Structure 1
């Protein structure tokens, strides 16, 4: 078996694609899925995760519900206007009813049990707000040695989507994001908006997905609200598979090219709240001595073979 993977998620259309990408990949041991508030309510994200796994024939994968709100301050807004009020363009109920419910005890309990039981490093792919991961690392630091790396979708280098500079997942809980990205020493790969937008797929790609089999057709059917939203922001008919880009890197390390940068997260209450501050200056320009920026373990994804990545995702979803 290949990559041992746990996905932390707030489905969300792109989350549904990402979960399916992992669930359908033969070289992935999908240990579990944990859910978090984000695009829609925790109740809806949990239901959606269970239904996507059932669609993929993977009711064996345990699901546990996690944080229903941010660590400290209320979530500013959800994203029903992008994903539909149920998170899946109003079509969640069209997916099969799950055979099993969420695990008792919640997300952090499941994360701890899966990591403690692991005999090889585990990759965690958080593709929603980072609240569950911050709670895990704060309350159970002994499990860090079991985490190979954290591959997260979030942040931006030169752009935002919830504000001019802040990306939705980070903006939803900046304090949690700062705990994970800045205050911990677990290796992190940050997959930002700048790259995921370059990996947008067209309606022709979606047509191939729909023609590729039962699961692909069901996933494509979840996209109308998402497509309408991205038609406005992209200026052409396509969607951005943000979370699937991150999960592709989690599955196939190196499919994205990364560069190491110091990263901080703006937790103030000004217009920059939730912004990921990526210091792209050369090391010699970052200052020395007291007040200098310490070297960061954050690998920021900056490039990929866009066409190759699209074929990678499409091939796995239609296998």
Structure 2
């Protein structure tokens, strides 16, 4: 049975308005009540179930987006991953664009057994910011793909995340590829969720400067409060940020390899890649588009592609010019700003050091692109 407010206000935008208040209040007062009982999920085919019994269980939260589309195709075409659900969030584009794009990717990969859910249509408490300048007005570089034939499940993304994780405690990794609004809503709605999540792997943040402001990477800039909730959740986090994703620019030889493929994912990926490269050239860019999100997915498929170091990461939410900045401490002490003279201090000036995040600090770009292209095209030569 759904909570009374959900039955009265089934629209997802109203859902967000109601749950946002409890999510933000929970930052101070603790987690809110859980969502009601969920709807059923489509079931995987018997052959697919046999293939993925030993694969890592993942839920992908995403805002497609060019690089998100590549990430979804990589994940769904990798036997190492059992994609249990895809959840859409507003980010690169509004939800009315990111949700159909997620559905399109599921169809292109012939994985309609995977449930897709609509999530937050806006950040927790901030005005929406999008990035059509980088992804095109349709999120796919301007490439027109047929409307999806399948539809999203009735559950909100946060409900779906909660249910699947609690049905498989300690087994499910959440992959966050957009603003972390859906993950924050799920964490604050269900008190036991954090302990039941195996880990969170996300594309976001940077320890070396942002790409929207000098301080903040796009996903954390869009919803810094959500990012803060996730990093303070106690769930083990792997952060694949701009420190490494800036090193994986898509180049002409890789586009030609995609164009040589004959399956549906190859054709879709090649068309998107060619279109977004043309956009970059039209803007006077000499380099190629950066494939941030599939690099984060690769961390679960081929961990050797990336080098990680342990940090304590916190997210700045108050700064006028630094909101969304991800700040990493590598060792003690964790020191904060000095108190103002003659003012009582609300927070401690120092804390003991405890690492909460594995941060990607280096990458093997050639190995990454070999994996990505071979998985999308169907070649089986992505070793090394």
TM over 0.5: yes
Match of 2:259 in 1: 210
Matched residues in 1 for 2:211 and 2:280: separation?
Answer: 11
Matched residues in 2 for 1:296 and 1:90: separation?
Answer: 42
Q: Any idea what SS the aligned residue of 2:246 has?
A: helix
Match of 2:171 in 1: 121
Q: Provide, for residues 81-131 of structure 1, a one-character-per-residue CA deviation record: whole Å limited to 9, x for no partner.
A: 11001111222x42x443320010210111122112226611110000000
Match of 2:238 among 170, 178, 189: 189
Matched residues in 2 for 1:195 and 1:233: separation?
Answer: 23
The alpha-carbon distance between structure 1 residues 65 and 256, as it changes in their structure 2 partners (threshold 3 A), is same
Q: Any idea what SS the aligned residue of 1:11 has?
A: coil
Match of 1:86 in 2: 138
The answer (yes or no) to whether the contact 1:62–1:102 under 8 Å persists in 2 is yes
Match of 1:42 among 95, 98, 101: 95
Match of 2:362 in 1: 303
The alpha-carbon distance between structure 1 residues 213 and 45, as it changes in their structure 2 partners (threshold 3 A), is same
Q: Any idea what SS the aligned residue of 2:113 has?
A: coil
The structure with the larger Rg is: 2
Match of 2:193 in 1: 143
TM-score normalised over the length of structure 1: 0.92
TM-score normalised over the length of structure 2: 0.77
More deviation, 42-51/226-235: 226-235
Report whether the alignment pairs 1:315 with 2:374: yes
Deviation at 1:265, TM superposition (A): 1.1
Match of 2:292 among 242, 254, 257: 242
More deviation, 227-236/139-148: 227-236
Match of 1:262 in 2: 312
**Higher-RCO chain (CA-CA 8 Å, sequence separation at least 6):** 1
Report whether the alignment pairs 1:111 with 2:111: no
The alpha-carbon distance between structure 1 residues 109 and 72, as it changes in their structure 2 partners (threshold 3 A), is same
Deviation at 1:222, TM superposition (A): 1.5
Q: How does 1:35-74 map to 2 (within 5 A)?
A: 35-74=88-127
The answer (yes or no) to whether the contact 2:132–2:139 under 8 Å persists in 1 is yes
More deviation, 10-19/301-310: 301-310
Deviation at 1:74, TM superposition (A): 1.1
The alpha-carbon distance between structure 1 residues 84 and 233, as it changes in their structure 2 partners (threshold 3 A), is closer
- What is the total number of aligned residue pairs between the two structures? 313
The alpha-carbon distance between structure 1 residues 272 and 148, as it changes in their structure 2 partners (threshold 3 A), is same
Structure 1 alignment gaps of length 5 or more: none
